[in-house]
Every structure is written in C-alpha cells, then in structure tokens.
Amino acid sequence: MSSQSVHTAALTPPRQLPDGASAESAAASEEKEIRLDESSSALDDVTQVPLPAYLQQVYWWAYLHPAAVRIFERQWLVNLILWGNFARLRDLALDELGASIEGDVLQVACVYGNFTERLLQRLHPEAQLAVVDVAEVQLENLKSKVNISSRMTLHHQDASNLKFADASFDTVVLFFLLHEQPEEVRAKTIAQALRVVKPGGKVVFVDYHRPIATNPFRYVMIPILSTLEPFAMDLWRHEISDWLPEPVRNRAKIDKQTYFGGLYQKVVITV
C-alpha cells in the first residue's frame, strides 16, 4: 500500500554531505530535492529514476496508473484493505517515532491514506521529514494532500538505492513497503534504510506477517495475497530480520510485535 490537480515544484539544492562522505554517497548532489512551499506546484526537472520492472509488471494497477491513485486515495478504502486496522497500525508506527517527533526523519515510500499527514502533525518545529518514492505520480499525489511545510522534502529515489549520505537520519520508517518488493530488492531496501540511519537511531517496519492458525483471516488472505501481492507471502515464511545484513543482525537490537491475530507485525531495529 505504500506506495501511493498537480502543482509545479520548486527545486532546491540537496543537503550538504558531511566531510569524509564516500564517493557513492556524493551522488546525492545530483538528486533534486523537491521542497514544498507556496510557490511550488509540479515536479519539474527531476532527475529521472527508472521504474523497477516488477513495479510496472505487478503493481501498475495500484500505484502507477493515474486512475489507480484516484481510486485508492480514500481513507475508508485503505482502512478496509487492512481490515479496519489502518489507524491502529499507523499510530503504532508513529508512536515509535515519538509523541513529538524530533530530528531528521525519512519515510521510505509514499502511503495512501493519512499516514504522512499524521506524521507531520507530530513533527517537532525543528525537525525535518524527507519522503522518497520511485514513482513520480505518488510524489505528486502526496504533495497534493499534505499541508505545505518548509520542513518537508520529497525525493524521487529508488528505496533500494538511496542517494543520501551514510547516517543522515535519526529515524527511518517503512509502512507496508517490504511485502511489495521481490526478495532481492527487499534485502537492498532494508540495507539502505540501515545505512542512512544514525548510530543509535531506529528503523521502523510495519507490514504483513503470518497469522496464527486460529485466525480466520489467515485463510482469507492466502488467495488475496497470492493473487494480488505475489511477494507478500515471503513475509509469512521469513522474519524481517532474515534480510538484515549479517553485521547489523549481530549487533542491532530487534523488537518485534504482532497484531490482529498475527496478520500484521511491527519490527523496530535500533542500530
């Protein structure tokens, strides 16, 4: 579910890289930052990021076609898709970031519904929020529904190949993204999220999970996910921690909680 009338966006230079940043992270200087201000209106002169083949082949109907955005951008519908659990899962993720969210925050992938709006409401006056998505239509959709804020930037980037410098963010959140990615892309996305979070920072995942045997939704979800979300069953067979780079897995604090009879999970990794 992430993601996921248009205005023209004003472009501002990307954030400065710290001294000693790697040559790879220096590529961030090429990425255009879309800052939301009163004069901005559409994505303009944004560095082109190719759409992943799996996204075009599997999820064009949900995230890429303009009609899909108009259909799925309804709060009641995203709540229905999650069997009435959207608000609860949203707040569980945001509570991990804090009642008043401080520091630099990265949201990886846009989300249908009011997830980002609620995050912005909690954002401390001196905090900053960056949102990345590989689909420009999702960034434009998000821009059309959030309150204009100079503390928020949108970035056209692939989650599996982020252009931010190492240790750029205090917290990173991924809300229902991993189940939409093939395993090899998922592993890269997790590694990137861990790379850009600061030492002592958190990476928060909320996503699907294998329900307990007595949960009737277990048997409802198998044909739904197998048909519409072909990569989601990976999260029934594996732990999110299975895709962590081994050095991180060995040293990180991993906290996992499940909800709604095990159908959903929240995993918090503190590095």
* 15 within some domain: no
* 11 within some domain: no
Range of the domain at 226: 25-270
Spatial contact of 202 and 269, defined as CB atoms under 8 Å apart: yes
Least confident of 116-130, 143-157, 229-243: 143-157
* 12 within some domain: no
pLDDT in tens, 61-80: 999 999 999 999 999 999 99
Q: What is the structure's pLDDT at 214?
A: 97
pLDDT higher at 37 or 126: 126
Confidence class for position 147, pLDDT limits 50, 70, 90? confident
Residues belonging to the chain: 271
Mean pLDDT of the chain: 87
* 6 within some domain: no
Give the predicted TM-score (pTM) of the model: 0.84
pLDDT higher at 36 or 124: 124
* 131 within some domain: yes
Spatial contact of 173 and 97, defined as CB atoms under 8 Å apart: yes
Angle at the Cα of 107 from the Cα atoms of 174 and 265, rounded to 5 degrees? 20
Closest residue by Cα to residue 153 from 31, 29, 4, 34 = 34
Q: What is the structure's pLDDT at 48?
A: 79
Q: Treating both helix axes as pointing N-terminal to C-terminal, what angle do 86-97 and 115-122 enclose, rounded to 10 degrees?
A: 30
* 17 within some domain: no
* 2 within some domain: no
pLDDT tops 90 at residue 12 = no
Residue 35's CATH number: 3.40.50.150
* 86 within some domain: yes
Q: How many domains does the chain have?
A: 1
DSSP conformation letters of 121-169: HHB-TT-EEEEEES-HHHHHHHHHHSPP-TTEEEEE--GGG--SPTT-E
Confidence class for position 149, pLDDT limits 50, 70, 90? confident
Confidence class for position 150, pLDDT limits 50, 70, 90? confident
Structure tokens at 98: 């804090």
pLDDT in tens, 103-145: 999 999 999 999 999 999 999 999 999 999 999 999 999 999 9
Least confident of 33-37, 44-48, 256-260: 33-37
